[in-house]
């Protein structure tokens, strides 16, 4: 028998196939268009089932586009699952890595790492540290204001503003010839120029966070419950909240450290998934993984193909996300957790 709220077999197949279809389309699209037949032939060649394509096409597909496709899939899935986890943790549909200050804290840490001349590992570690500090401060401030629906969002806005000011301070002290342009462009969000080395360093935290939250996704249904009801289930709520915060923060920090601050993904995608699949995390987490990956991949493909010069992805996510979110709100008639 299928568990209540779990995905149907056809839904599982659809959610598994969708990212593959989007990834295949992204491999075809670009400033140099490659036909689906050539992409398919190249894939068969990599699998040892064919001769592949010419050297130039192979270079474009597997050195330039494939790492970027993988990064978009990881970042989209990571930010969506992190947003879903934060919304359940704080019982608030507005709680996302952006509104809770996590993204701003991670951005400050990464900008500080760039200013200090750290490599990717150092940037990721500083982003993780300050992202964790931001969500801890948000949680403490929110508890001080009470556990109403807006307390944590208000505290997140305050903490986010604090770290945004610290980012501005870092930019003010950065070298105007080299460090300031790098920090400014990085803050706008871009997946450009990331290779397999960056993926090898940045993907473990995202994959580990997604895996852990998938394994405990049935327990995440307990998070929005009142404290008395949650404790009655026999669950160690302190440990569950700690694991949820750690996983969501680690994923956000890793995403920010690799491609800058990308907004709207952690807010828009979980809400779409809730409208379609309900609030049961047995279905909600897999849906966020699939649709978040597809959304980010579609936005990044548009960012690198819409004009001669690449558009920062954070601009497109805001342009697409804001009006789309308003339409969703009008159709749904309000917030649902």
* Rg of the chain over all Cα atoms, to the nearest angstrom: 20
Cα-based angle 285, 288, 290 (whole degrees, multiple of 5): 110
- Which region among 65-69, 98-102, 269-273 has the lowest average model confidence (pLDDT)? 98-102
- pTM: predicted TM-score of the whole model, two decimal places: 0.86
Q: Identify the top-confidence range among 9-23, 190-204, 248-262.
A: 9-23
| DSSP codes, 191-260 | -TT--HHHHHHHHHHHHHHHHHHHHTTTGGGGTTS-HHHHHHTT--HHHHHHHHHHHHHHHHHHHHHHH-
- Cα-Cα-Cα-Cα torsion 84, 85, 88, 94, nearest 10 degrees, comes to -50
Q: How many CB atoms lie within 10 A of CB 169?
A: 13
Q: How would you class 334 by CB atoms within 10 Å of its CB: exposed for 0-12, middle for 13-18, buried for 19 or more?
A: exposed
Convert the pLDDT of each residue in 118-129 to its tens digit. Answer: 877 788 788 878
Looking at residue 28, its pLDDT comes to 93
Domains of the chain, start order: 73-332 (1.10.3470.10)
């Amino acid at each position: 028998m299928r568990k209540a709220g779990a995905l149907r077999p056809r839904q599982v197949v659809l959610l598994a196939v969708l990212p593959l279809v989007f990834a295949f389309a992204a491999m075809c699209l670009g400033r140099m268009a490659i036909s689906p037949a050539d992409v398919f032939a190249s894939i068969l060649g990599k699998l040892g089932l064919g001769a592949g394509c010419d050297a130039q096409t192979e270079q474009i597909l597997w050195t330039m586009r494939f790492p970027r496709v993988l990064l978009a899939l990881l970042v989209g899935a990571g930010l969506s699952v992190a947003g879903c986890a934060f919304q359940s943790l704080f019982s608030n549909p507005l709680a996302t890595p952006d509104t809770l200050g996590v993204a701003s804290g991670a951005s400050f840490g990464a900008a500080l790492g760039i200013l200090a001349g750290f490599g990717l590992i150092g940037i990721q570690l500083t982003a993780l540290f300050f992202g964790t500090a931001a969500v801890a401060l948000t949680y403490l401030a929110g508890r001080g204001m009470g556990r109403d629906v807006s307390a944590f969002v208000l505290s997140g806005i305050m903490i986010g503003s604090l770290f945004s000011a610290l980012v501005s301070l870092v930019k003010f002290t950065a070298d105007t010839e080299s460090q300031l342009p790098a920090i400014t462009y990085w803050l706008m969000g871009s997946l450009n120029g990331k290779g397999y080395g960056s993926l090898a360093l940045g993907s473990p935290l995202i994959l580990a966070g997604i895996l852990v939250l998938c394994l405990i996704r049935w327990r995440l249904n307990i998070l929005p419950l009142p404290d008395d009801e949650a404790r009655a289930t026999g669950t160690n709520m302190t440990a569950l909240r700690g694991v949820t915060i750690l996983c969501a923060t680690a994923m956000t920090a890793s995403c920010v450290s690799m491609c800058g601050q990308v907004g709207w993904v952690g807010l828009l995608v979980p809400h779409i998934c809730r409208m379609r699949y309900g609030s049961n995390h047995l279905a909600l987490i897999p849906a966020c993984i699939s649709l978040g990956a597809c959304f980010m991949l579609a936005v990044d493909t548009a960012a690198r193909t819409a004009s001669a010069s690449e558009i920062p992805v954070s601009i497109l996510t805001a342009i697409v996300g804001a009006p789309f979110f308003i339409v969703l709100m009008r159709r749904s008639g309000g917030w649902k957790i």
